[in-house]
Amino acid sequence: MFSSLEGTSVVVTGGSKGIGKGIARVFAREQARVLLVGRDEEAGRAAVDELAAGGGEVSFLAADISKATGCDRVAAVAAERNGGVDVLCANAGIFPQRLIREMSEEEIDEVLGTNLKGCMLLVRACLPALERSGHGRVILTSSITGPVTGFPGWSHYGASKAGQLGFMRTAAIELAQSGITVNAVLPGNIVTEGLDELGDEYTAEMAASIPMRRLGTPDEVGYAALFLASKEAGYITGQAIVVDGGQILPESLAALEA
């Protein structure tokens, strides 16, 4: 049995869609006070309506986490509405697919700026609140792509996701004495709005390459985040949990088909 997270202040960036919404849903069901962050107001409002129906206290803030001002606003609004930040889920991310030879400087900046710089700025902005919490938790949404695997078209994305883990390891050391843990979830292929854009063929090919023969759900990533946020996970820091239905395991096609 895990300790209750009722009333805990949880920030989920990218909480209006996909994996972030799954993470937010899992925390909201535990009666946490959840602040969803995204840029699109309409999607944010729809997510609040959907999640509030399942319990917990959910609200939305429109902010761009690739900018320091956006991240500062996240910390300020979490303090105003929910009394601080106990759990920071730095989940917002983008994954445009582009081969190296076609990549523009702007797109490299956008991917690294959102996925990597955004996550650093967010932790920096929320640090005072996490320290005040006394048991702050940072959970980064990285990916198997980059830290473990590669996929043509996602070199910038993979670099950003591997970079998050580099940041995590030093952040975990720097923040340990404040009682803050910093960990990551590494999703495989999860059914989300963002993934849908890659098309049915991509989804079918991915499902066939996963030992469990299906894509994951956003809530399944949420449960891993919930564990890392628990009081009971307080001695785990600087670690990464892969949530991928076994996708990274087969060492060959034969291993997958056996």
Catalytic positions: 157
Q: Which stretch binds ligand NAP (CB under 6 A): 3-11, 37-45, 80-88, 174-182?
A: 37-45
DSSP letter (8 states) at residue 238: S
Q: Which of 7, 29, 31, 39 binds ligand NAP (CB under 6 A)?
A: 39
Percent helix, percent strand, percent coil in the chain, to nearest 5 = 50, 15, 35
Q: Which of 10, 11, 19, 225 binds ligand NAP (CB under 6 A)?
A: 19
Minimum separation from the CB atom of position 1 to ligand NAP (A): 29
Residue 67 CA to residue 232 CA, distance in Å, equals 33
E strand or H helix that includes residue 12: strand 9-13
Measured from the CB atom, is 69 or 170 closer to ligand NAP? Answer: 69
Q: How many residues bind ligand NAP (CB under 6 A)?
A: 30
Measured from the CB atom, is 5 or 43 closer to ligand NAP? Answer: 43
Q: Which of 84, 147, 163, 187 binds ligand NAP (CB under 6 A)?
A: 187
In the range 81-110, which residues lie near ligand NAP by CB under 6 A?
91-95
Binding status of residue 155 toward ligand NAP by CB under 6 A: no
State the binding string over 188-207 for ligand NAP (x if CB under 6 A, else -): -xx-xxxx------------
Minimum separation from the CB atom of position 257 to ligand NAP (A): 23
Q: Which of 17, 25, 33, 156 binds ligand NAP (CB under 6 A)?
A: 17
Binding status of residue 20 toward ligand NAP by CB under 6 A: yes
Q: Which stretch binds ligand NAP (CB under 6 A): 27-35, 127-135, 182-190, 223-231?
A: 182-190
Binding status of residue 143 toward ligand NAP by CB under 6 A: yes
Of the candidates 52, 73, 49, 69, the one whose C-alpha atom is nearest the C-alpha of residue 61 is 73
Q: Three-state DSSP class for 252?
A: coil
Residue 185: phi and psi, rounded to 5, are -105, 140
Give a three-class secondary structure readout of 30-90: CCCEEEEEECCHHHHHHHHHHHHCCCCEEEEEECCCCCHHHHHHHHHHHHHHHCCCCEEEE
Specify whether the backbone of 10 is left (phi greater than 0), alpha (psi in -120 to 50) or beta. beta
DSSP calls for 131-151: HHHSS-EEEEE--SBTTTB--
* Beta bridge mates, 37: 13, 61
Minimum separation from the CB atom of position 72 to ligand NAP (A): 13
Contact set with ligand NAP (CB under 6 A): 13-14, 16-20, 37-40, 43, 64-66, 91-95, 114, 141, 143, 187, 189-190, 192-195
